Amino acid sequence: MSDRPGLRERKKAKTRALIQKEALRLFREQGYAATTVEQIADAAEVAPSTVFRYFATKEDLVMVDQFPPLMEALDAVPPGAGPVAAVRMAMAAVIEAQTPQERADSLERERLMFSVPELWASSMENVTGVINTLRERLAAREGRDPDDPELRNVTGAIIGVMLALWFEWVKDPETDAPAQLDRALRHLEAGLPLPRG
């Protein structure tokens, strides 16, 4: 039996992707605040109610929950890998699965999140959820309580490294973010040594 989604699910996914693609294009061309849901619906050739069926708010057109693929990839990392190594391997697997277009769209969304105040607020709410979920998953992997202060420290360090790189990537899109992320997490895994030059 095939795991391939049925025709209806594929059509829904296609419609959702088209709406988001047109929204990002209009945000880029006109600006976020100047773009209306009606304009997005018109560009995607759907009704405004269809836009709201897929995206509850205008902010949701930019926000993408990329955490489920990371959690799946993290669950696939063999036991025995430490928390930082496990996250590094999971991130590498998620990035490897992305197409160049998906990476370009991701960068465009990140730039919007940095430049539009209401998106920044939504983004910070999302980061809080990511921290909590990652901490719970790492606790399960390590056989520890999620409230363990040492686990809190490790999770905070991982997220801190990722956020620092995220800020740089948005400022300089030419940054090879996947390679930089791998290097940064390896450095963290090694204990953040700072050799004297």
pLDDT, tens digit, 9 for 90 and up, residues 109-120: 877 887 788 788
pLDDT for residue 21 is more than 90: no
Give residue 187's identity as a one-letter amino acid code: H
Does pLDDT of 44 surpass 90?
yes
The number of CA neighbours under 13 Å toward the Cβ of 153 is 6
CA distance 141 to 78: 10
pLDDT, residue 64, reads 67
Can you list the domains of the chain with their CATH numbers?
7-57 (1.10.10.60), 62-189 (1.10.357.10)
Name the band, by pLDDT with cuts 50, 70 and 90, for residue 81.
very high
Q: Residue 67 has what pLDDT?
A: 66
Q: What is the pLDDT of residue 177?
A: 83
Q: What pLDDT does 197 receive?
A: 64
| Residues 6+ positions from 168 with CB-CB distance below 8 Å | 175, 180
Mean pLDDT confidence for 3-24: 84
pLDDT at 48 over 90: yes
Q: Mean pLDDT score of the chain, rounded to an integer? A: 87
Range list of H helices, the chain: 7-30, 37-44, 48-54, 67-76, 83-97, 100-115, 117-142, 149-171, 177-189
Quote the pLDDT of residue 114.
79
Interval 133-186: pLDDT, tens: 999 999 999 999 999 999 999 999 999 998 888 888 878 878 888 899 999 999
* Residue 65 confidence (pLDDT) above 70: no
Indicate the length of the chain as a whole number.
197
Instruction: Compute the distance between CA of residue 130 and CA of residue 145 in angstroms, rounded to an integer.
Output: 17
